[in-house]
Amino acid sequence: MWAKLALKLFSREFKRGELTVISAAIALAVLTVLTLSMVTDRIGQSIEEKSSAFIAADRVLASNHVLPAEFLDKANQDNLRTAKITYFDTMLFAGDEMQLGSVKAVSNTYPLKGELKVKTSLTGQPEVTTEIPSRGEVWLSESVFYALNIKVGDKVELGAATFTASHIVAEEPDAPFNVFSSSQRILINEADIAVTEVIQPGSRVFYRQLYAGDKNNLDAFYAWLKPQMKENQNWYGVKDRQSPISNSLNRAESYLLLAGLLGIILAAVAIAVSAKRYCERQYDPVAMMKTLGGSRAMIRKIYLLHLSLVCSLSVIVGLLIGYGLQAIATDYLAQTMGSVLPSASAKPWIIAISTGVICAVMFSIKPLLDLFDIPPLRVLRRNLGDRLLVSKVHLAMSALTVFLLMWLFSNNIKISAILFLSTAFLIAVLFGLSKVIFGGGRKLGLSPGNSWSLAIASIQKRANVNAVQLISFALAIKLLLFLIVLKNDMISDWQSQLPENAPNSFLVNITEQELEPITSFLAQNDMPTSDFYPVVRGRVNAVNGELVAREVSQEDNEKKDEEARSGIGRELNLTWRKDLPNQNELIDGAWFSENSVAEASVEESMLERLDVKIGDTLTFLIGAQSFDAKITSVRKVNWTTLKPNFFIILSPDVLASFPATYISSVNVKEEKKREFNELMRQYPTVNVIDVESFIKQIRSTIEQVSLAIGFVLAIVVACGALVLISQVQASLGERMQEIVILRTLGAKGRLIKNATLYEFLLLGVTAGLVAAIVSDIALLIVQKQMFDLAGKFHPHIWVIGPAVGGLFVACLGYLMIARTMRKNTQGLLRSLA
């Protein structure tokens, strides 16, 4: 019997719209989480897949010694595509000319990701190829042709073998982005390694195995591989590399994760407010049922069934709408990105359903318990039950629910904890501030018949309700400002790193005699350059007189001296200059002065690696000569700028007597390519590293990331707007009663309308101001901690926050109750009944 009554009551309430608010809130939570999760999941997979071209694979296994063939066999069994690369340096000969180059021997399946582009003549255009050099062929970078003074089709000697230089390597997907690495690229077939006879015991050789395939297969393979890896082997993906693209991807991933977490907070607030409002509107029906003999158990069953039906229907609607939204969004994004986005995993569906069910249950427990306790006498005394106490246990459980949902969504307890605690602190501050603001309003001189006076009086009367509304408004505005400003700062930072006139080539190995004519040539041909840095190769040999550990060879079974101090097992590129480079920031100590003698400035990560501090003395070894330099400053270096950067910079007096070569970066416009090639012909010993294709890939990826971020931001903005709507709807019933009373007392319609508008305006301005200040403080912390951006204040949002908050809340609130105010008094009384 109770089930039939429950269904009949559910149908009646559904038709009357009593369930609209809570149903919409639950559906909102589900569709928000599903859309955000699926969009970020699919876009993240797409961007990572495209960015994998930077390493020519999904994952790479790097080693300083030969890798077992069984690794590749196992990977093939796990349905992974594989390839092999072997790197070594050697001399290349053509007649009387010779050139040191970096050999890259590849297997037939190279590259697994990305495109290899070649030219068939020095003046030809790059073309994509799916081939690799045939046996007996060698493909060379353009600078090698100039250095050896040969043309396509000529013979060259590499080790003990003779090869035909059949193609020019224009672009490699995994070309090393290291301005100090050799630009003299030599590509051969791995089957030709043996005939060169270059690799001998003790040769310096590097090995790579490339893997590509499904993420689950890659994870399973790595689980098998990890126990067998040696200490000097490294497994990495594109996001693990220290490069502009990996930094961009990691930042974007953090932003999308942050947006999703904030979206969950907003959805949870909407459900909590809606559940409370729905239960409050059921006080009278429950009191009536109890008066007519309805038992507590029967009422409990009726409303638990209502909750189950509402939850089920809302989750289904949310899933359908969410899936439709993400389909529309990802189709548009796929067309913009020029690729088909991968399918989403099952995780977004699980998270979305869990979010809807958990929020509906947890945020409805306390309001439902209050509903069951409504006394029958309420049919006579309508105010009974209106002042039920807030349960601290329920608040704690609700807070724990939000935290668990954030943790479930992010799978990162640290980020979840930071955001949760900062939001909880914000709510506490806002609640206390609202009490002060609304309480202080009582001291204002109010005049009867004034719209402002009526608005302030209304705020005072609903102090507790308005405190909750203020918190909700401020929280929504704060999160929106937070995401919008962070997005703009991130994109501005990316664009500042790669402006239109960013250097697209590096000139390396310029001698002292070549410096002046090359500088003049570039200036005459309108090719802007960065500073020219002198470079000397040297090793940190000791710290404060204590020798550092040297590099050992695992292949030769050398043992590391465990008692030696930690150091750098390779030579560093050292430079000297009077002025601090503009892409460097001095974070400790003082820069060199005119009287500096034997001083050194160390980059912050190198400071930690060497375990040194300002005042320590470093001993350098260059060839057979050693010298000391005292650390006087620490620098933070922006490695993402396309300019030369150094771990250690010395004062000019230290290295001035050492022979050095110079390095610089230059911007070569397309119409200046011919003149630039002429420079390469005139100075064949100068290494030219073209990073144009690298810059294009980075810009393309950043555009895709920015587009994804913009769409996710739009979803969160919509979510924030719906939270504001749910808050306004929560007070509609009480506002209708006030309108009836004011009209009965003779108040004019214009007075009531203006008072309502001013009330929302005051709430919006206050919420916007608090939100802007708190948002800016939070941004200052998050930018440094999560995104490695220069933290800064944004004074403009302190104006934009109150202005937009006041305008938005006022317009939204007024529009929502405009229909109510258009009703006559009799119509309002019927609605209240």
Whole-angstrom Cα distance, residue 59 to residue 146? 35
Weakest-pLDDT range from 207-211, 239-243, 335-339? 239-243
What tokens were used for 413? Answer: 């307890």
pLDDT at res. 687: 74
Q: With helix as H, strand as E and coil as C, how does 157-196 read?
A: EECCEEEEEEEEEEECCCCCCCCCCCCCEEEEEHHHHHHH
In this predicted structure, the answer to whether residue 602 has a pLDDT above a threshold of 60 is yes
Which candidate, 760, 738, 747, 751, places its Cα nearest to that of 815?
A: 760
The per-residue pLDDT for 83 is 94
The rounded Cα 263 to chain-centroid distance in angstroms is 16
Widest Cα–Cα separation across the chain: 111
Q: Which of 566, 590, 571 is nearest to 580 (CA)?
A: 590
**With the CA atoms of 610, 616, 617 and 619 taken in that order, what torsion angle do they form, in degrees rounded to the nearest 10?**
-10
109 band by pLDDT with thresholds 50, 70 and 90: very high
Question: Poorest-confidence range of 508-522, 628-642, 647-661, 669-683?
Answer: 669-683
Neighbours of 529 (CB within 10 A): 17
User: Do residues 663 and 508 touch, judged by C-beta distance below 8 A?
Assistant: yes
616 contacts 631 by C-beta, under 8 angstroms: yes
Min mean pLDDT across 435-449, 470-484, 662-676 is at: 435-449
**pLDDT at res. 614:** 92
Could you tell me the two tokens for 722? 């719906």
Question: Which tens digits make up the pLDDT trace of 770-823?
Answer: 778 777 777 777 666 666 666 677 788 888 888 888 887 778 777 777 666 666
Q: What percent of the chain has pLDDT over 90?
A: 13
Q: Which residue has the higher pLDDT, 175 or 58?
A: 58
Predicted confidence (pLDDT) at residue 655 exceeds the cutoff of 50: yes
End-to-end Cα, the chain, rounded Å? 27
**Rounded Cα gap, residues 643 and 582, in angstroms:** 10
Residue 559: is its pLDDT beyond 50? no
Calpha distance 447→454 (Å, rounded): 9
Q: In 10 A of CB 473, how many CB atoms?
A: 30
The residue among 576, 554, 727, 602 whose CA lies nearest residue 654 is: 576
Q: For residues 521-542, give the mean pLDDT.
A: 87
Higher pLDDT, 602 or 772: 602
Integer Rg of the chain from CA: 34
657 to each of 47, 653, 817, how far by Cα in Å? 49, 8, 82
C-alpha torsion angle, residues 257, 260, 262, 264 (rounded to 10): -140
- pLDDT score at 552: 43
Q: Give residue 648's pLDDT.
A: 92
Round to whole Å and give the CA distance between 569 and 560. Answer: 11
- For the entire predicted model, the pTM comes to 0.62
Of 53-62, 199-208, 234-243, 530-539, the least confident: 234-243
- Residue-wise pLDDT tens digits, 283-292: 777 778 878 7
Alpha-carbon gap, residue 91 to 443, rounded angstroms = 89
Structure tokens at 469: 């509304």
The more confidently predicted of residues 547 and 385 is: 547
Q: What residues contact residue 256 under an 8 Å CB cut-off, 6+ apart? A: 36, 40, 43, 44, 708, 709, 712
Are the beta carbons of 349 and 23 closer than 8 angstroms?
A: no
**What pLDDT score was predicted for residue 75?**
92
Domain regions of the chain by residue span: 2-49+247-496+698-832, 56-236, 505-554+562-690
Positive or negative CA dihedral for 309, 312, 316, 321?
A: positive
At 688, list the tokens.
């030219």
Segment 413-448, tens digit of pLDDT:
776 777 777 777 777 777 777 667 666 554 444 455
Residue in the structure block whose two tokens are 């941004």: 779
Distance CA 33, CA 349 (A): 9
